[in-house]
Structure 1
Amino acid sequence: MGVAIRAAGQGDRELVVRVLSAAFQDDPVSGWIFPGVEYRRETQPLLMAAFADIVLAEGRIDLTEDGSACALWLPMPDEVHDDGGEGFRQVRAAVDPENERVEILGRLTAEIHPAGRAHEYLWMIGVTPGNQGQGLGAALIGSVTDRCDREGLPAYLEASSPRSRALYERLGFEQTGPALTLPDGPKMWPMWRDPRG
């Protein structure tokens, strides 16, 4: 059975934020950024909204037709522009000014992001908890990696949990470089997928 996928528009912003907030409520990296269930429940949607706004402006959000899963993709050029961390400071100021972990995460993931070759960057993918394990994430990723294969374009992401890492490995991603260990926090795994013939 196929999964119907469409490009999200500005009118889908709140749905995307709800999906991501629900999907990442128990994620180890989200727990590190926003320790405490109530704090995370209240503040994490602001971060997801900031991410959705960035990707709606600069990339593409794919959404399952039933609204239960979405993937945020950014096209990355050969050389990534370094703004000196200003973008991360702006996100922190808009989301949770007292929380330095918002900015730290952005800076550390930027430091390990591969440069020198254009690629598609899967910034985030989320499936609502009641719909996980049904192949929606694989379908969302596959729709883009199929295009990457046709166009000879690699793809990159950071896995934020062992479970997501295993899914990405099944979809052809391989760890590239050492895992990123967040300060007093969990690991993230940088993963790369070369296009297939």
Structure 2
Amino acid sequence: MGGVAIRIAGEDDRDLVVRLLDEAFQDDPVSRWVFPGQEYRRRTHHRLMAAFTDAALADGRAELTEDGAACALWLPVPAGEDGPAGADATRDEAAEDVPAQVREAVDPDNERVETVARLTEGIHPRGRAHEYLWMIGVLPHRQGEGLGTLLVTSVLDRCDREGKAAYLEASSARSRGLYERLGFRCTGPALDLPGGPRMWPMWREPQTL
């Protein structure tokens, strides 16, 4: 993958990132569970991708291949916190109900938007500071070129230099295998969404250079 440039996405890239993630995740098992039915998903799914993108641009880091074919959303999680909801609580000591707010903003009548947020929050490791790979998407016609691996390893290399751990939830057996090859290991029992697919919480210790 030599020659593929990666840059930090900014506010001017918001619409591009939302469109990219929307297209990349249309057939993802978790997206299909949250938004069942192709037409419904095409009408609504992009709102959730927009919420995730806005959160990453505000509190984290969005990395984008220069050609706009792939993007990864990362959030830094300080010690003692537990992912996006915990990060939000640092700004608002009232500890707002983030999953409920996301549901209200994205699709108020769809309880699965809130359910998946609560369940993933519940399995998120607590205690140690880490980088959270919230989402990574590659346009369907560009998948299989190694762009996803390139994006992930660019941040993992930084984690290794800084002695920092990384965490994610794999949403398919295929992606779980990819992440295992990059040094991630399952942290505990898989999360089975009610009547839906399985997700695997995965943790990676910093590697010795």
Partner secondary structure for residue 157 of structure 1: strand
* Aligned-partner Cα distance in 1 for 2:204–2:36: 32
CA drift of 1:85 comes to 6.4
* Aligned-partner Cα distance in 2 for 1:15–1:152: 32
Structure-2 residue corresponding to 1:160:
171
Structure-2 residue corresponding to 1:65:
66
1:5-44 paired onto structure 2 within 5 Å: 5-44=6-45
1:88 corresponds, among 99, 122, 126, to: 99
Give the conservation status (yes or no) of the 8 Å contact 1:73–1:121. yes
1:38-187 paired onto structure 2 within 5 Å: 38-80=39-81, 81=86, 86-187=97-198
Partner secondary structure for residue 203 of structure 2: strand
Superposition RMSD in Å: 1.1
TM-score by length of structure 1 reads 0.97
* Aligned-partner Cα distance in 2 for 1:54–1:4: 24
* Aligned-partner Cα distance in 2 for 1:165–1:171: 10
TM-score by length of structure 2 reads 0.92
Partner secondary structure for residue 124 of structure 1: strand
Q: Write out per-residue CA displacement over residues 105-148 of structure 1, whole angstroms, 9 at most, x where no aligned residue.
A: 11000000001000000000000000001010000000000000
Equivalenced residues, count: 197
The amino acid of 2:24's aligned partner reads: A
Q: Which runs of 5+ in 2 are unaligned?
A: none
* Aligned-partner Cα distance in 1 for 2:172–2:39: 21
The amino acid of 1:43's aligned partner reads: T
Give the conservation status (yes or no) of the 8 Å contact 1:79–1:115. yes
The amino acid of 2:206's aligned partner reads: P
The amino acid of 1:154's aligned partner reads: A
* Aligned-partner Cα distance in 1 for 2:3–2:126: 34
* Aligned-partner Cα distance in 1 for 2:191–2:96: 18
Identity value in percent: 68
Q: Which runs of 5+ in 1 are unaligned?
A: none
Structure 1 runs (4+) greater than 4 angstroms displaced: 82-85
